[in-house]
Amino acid sequence: MSQCPTSADRKLLDKALKRLDKLHKLSTDPRLALKNSPPYLPELMSETTTLLTEIWAPYRGTVMSVPRGDEGEYLRIHIKHLVDKAERAVLLFKNAREKMFEESSSFRRNLTKLSLLFSHMLFELRSMFPAGRFQGDTFRVTKTEAKDFWRKAFGHKVHYFEEGMEAMALKSTVDLTCNDHISVFEFDIFTRLFQPWSTMIRNWNHLAVTHPGYMAFLTYDQVRARLEHYRHRPGSYIFRLSCTQMGQWAIGHVTNDGNILQTIPQNTPLYQALIKGFREGCYLYPDGRDVNPDLTSLCSPTQKSRVKVTEEQYELYCEIGSTFQLCKICTERDKDTRIQPCGHLLCQPCLTGWQISQEEYQVPCASLSPPPLPPKHCVSPRPSPKPRSKSLDTGTQNMALSSLVGGVSWQGPSESVKKRKKEKRRDNDKDAESRAEDWSSVSPTKLESDSSL
């Protein structure tokens, strides 16, 4: 349990409230002509003041409440950095003087950035104190994997960043409020922005570190102003963090008729939205540049996929009489190759045979349907050849190019397990021979009918 706010902390609160009031007066100067669109500084100052007064009320009377969890520490850190940013904003007005009223001046751009920081801090405060009561210790991280990681790695502890360029760049992205601390709220926003969890750091590197279309601390109006320079080039685009829907991206782009639109992709990772937009001709030139980064690698798994079966799973297949390990084309050899993109498993000789003689081997296109299974212990190790159809000529050639390129190694059970399986096969030799005789007595017409079922 953290310490109750001290008298020094309460003095900081009073100082913060005075600075917020000063900023409200400065930002409502008619000469400033601020647009009433997020982040609107006068509104941010009023709402922050109201929420702070409500949150700190239990600690300003003669009898103070007991803080919940690390509430006291959080309030201490928050109020310290709020005072710091408020003083920076007041000083900015003082140094800018008349130039603050020039919309294109560097002072106005710095004021906009500070406004975004105040907006982020207000969003965080609302999330940590819903209805004015601290819920930081029970804050619900949206993504399951991110939630498990946060609770396991940190819990209620403080974790310090290691030195290093990547670590510092990562910290600057996650630290939305720029106060040298990462709250569970900021962590939740970051994991939603750069989802999915399994490739999050890779996504962040491609989308925030190296992508020319990424813009930090930009507003809706600034995006429009930046894209004005590229109205002559439809397909120009940039993207930013939405300041109204935290955890979402906002993508601005120039349409074919020269208009500027901004959209927020819903329920989809940013890289997928950018790839789709590129294919549709919407997102072609990041910040007006000629080269658009290829993000298709983010759609691939981080490691080469392998199919792995444990000994226990394999034993279970053996017990139920499954032919999981056997190639479904010849039913004689073990599977050792996977074909792409359908994912079917078969043995190398059957794959080679299919490539040599496409008329005899029919590999299905549909990734959800299993390879054709000939009758077990059939006299012929291959399926009965089917007459070549003109309608299938092109499809067969395409399959040879797409489905069979780039075989992936398949990792099966250990040799000891395979040996036990072979021993079980020998025990059933007599039964197998009798079944083979039964199948050999079936006419070819009847055989084709049965296999089609």
Q: What is the pLDDT of residues 391-400, one digit of tens each?
A: 334 333 333 3
The per-residue pLDDT for range 261-306, each reduced to its tens digit, is: 999 998 889 999 999 999 999 999 999 999 999 999 888 765 444 4
- Check residues 86 and 393 and name the one with the higher pLDDT: 86
CB atoms within 10 A of CB 202: 14
With a pLDDT cut of 70, the percent of the chain lying above it is: 66
Q: How many residues does the chain have?
A: 453
Residue 15's alpha-carbon distances to 8, 18, 51, 82, 118, in angstroms, are 11, 5, 15, 10, 16
**CATH 1.20.930.20 segments of the chain:** 1-134
What does the buried/exposed string (b/e) look like for 372-401 if buried means 16 or more CB atoms within 10 Å of the residue's CB? eebbebbeeebbeeeeeeeeeeeebeebee
Residue 45: alpha-carbon gap to chain centroid = 33
- 181, 175 Cβ separation under 8 angstroms: yes
Grade residue 233 by pLDDT with cuts at 50, 70 and 90: very high
Give the closest residue to 216 by CA, choosing from 134, 116, 341, 144: 116
The first and second tokens of residue 255, run together, are: 């349409």
pLDDT at 365: 43
pLDDT tens-digit map of 30-52: 999 998 888 999 999 999 999 99
Torsion on CA atoms 137, 139, 144, 148, rounded to nearest 10: -10
> How do beta strands 236-241 and 285-286 pair?
parallel
Furthest C-alpha separation in the chain: 101
CB 274 within 8 A of CB 282: no
The two tokens of residue 350 are: 């059957």
Q: How much helix, strand and coil, in percent to the nearest 5, is found in the chain? A: 50, 5, 40
The rounded distance, in Å, linking the Cα atoms of 242 and 249 is 5
Of 189 and 430, the one with more pLDDT: 189
Phi and psi based region of residue 380 (left: phi greater than 0; alpha: psi -120 to 50; beta: remaining)? beta
Helix, strand or coil, per DSSP, at residue 241:
strand
Cα(154)–Cα(379) distance, integer angstroms: 63
How is 355-375 classified by DSSP, letter by letter?
HH-TTT----S-TTSPPP-PP
User: In the numeric block, which tokens belong to residue 11?
Assistant: 């003095």
Helix axes 7-27, 71-96, angle to 10 degrees: 40
- Does residue 222 have a pLDDT over 50? yes
Nearest to 65 by CA among 73, 56, 77, 53: 56
pLDDT-derived band of residue 158, with 50, 70 and 90 as boundaries?
low
Angle between helices 106-128 and 41-56 (to 10 degrees): 30
User: Residues 421-448: what's their mean pLDDT?
Assistant: 53
Amino acid at 102: E
User: Residue 328: what pLDDT?
Assistant: 57
- Range ranked top by mean pLDDT from 223-227, 244-248, 396-400, 442-446: 223-227
pLDDT, average across residues 419-439: 60
What is the rounded CA–CA span in Å between residue 431 and residue 411? 30
Q: How far apart are CA 19 and CA 25, in angstroms?
A: 10
Burial grade of 253 (CB within 10 A; 0-12, 13-18, 19 or more): buried
Rounded to 5 degrees, φ, ψ at 3 are: -75, 150
- Average pLDDT in the chain: 76
Task: Tell me the C-alpha distance between 270 and 298, whole Å.
Answer: 11
Average pLDDT over residues 220-249: 93
Question: What is the domain class of 206-299 according to CATH?
Answer: alpha beta
Residue 224: partners with Cβ closer than 8 Å, 6 or more residues away: 252, 260, 262
- In CATH terms, the superfamily for domain 1-134 is Adaptor protein Cbl, N-terminal domain (1.20.930.20)
